[in-house]
Structure 1
Amino acid sequence: MSTPAASVRSLPKAVWFAVLVLLPVLGPLAWLFAGRPRRGATRRAAAPERGAPDDDEDFLRELRRRADDHRRRARDPRDDGKP
Structure 2
Amino acid sequence: MGEFNENDLVNNDYQRTVTKGVNSKFTDVRNRQKVNKKETYEVIYFCNAFVKAYHVPKTKESFQKVEKIIRLPQASHIVMRDQLNSFVAQNWNKI
* TM-score normalised by length of structure 2: 0.20
When you count helix as a share of all residues, which structure comes out higher?
A: 1
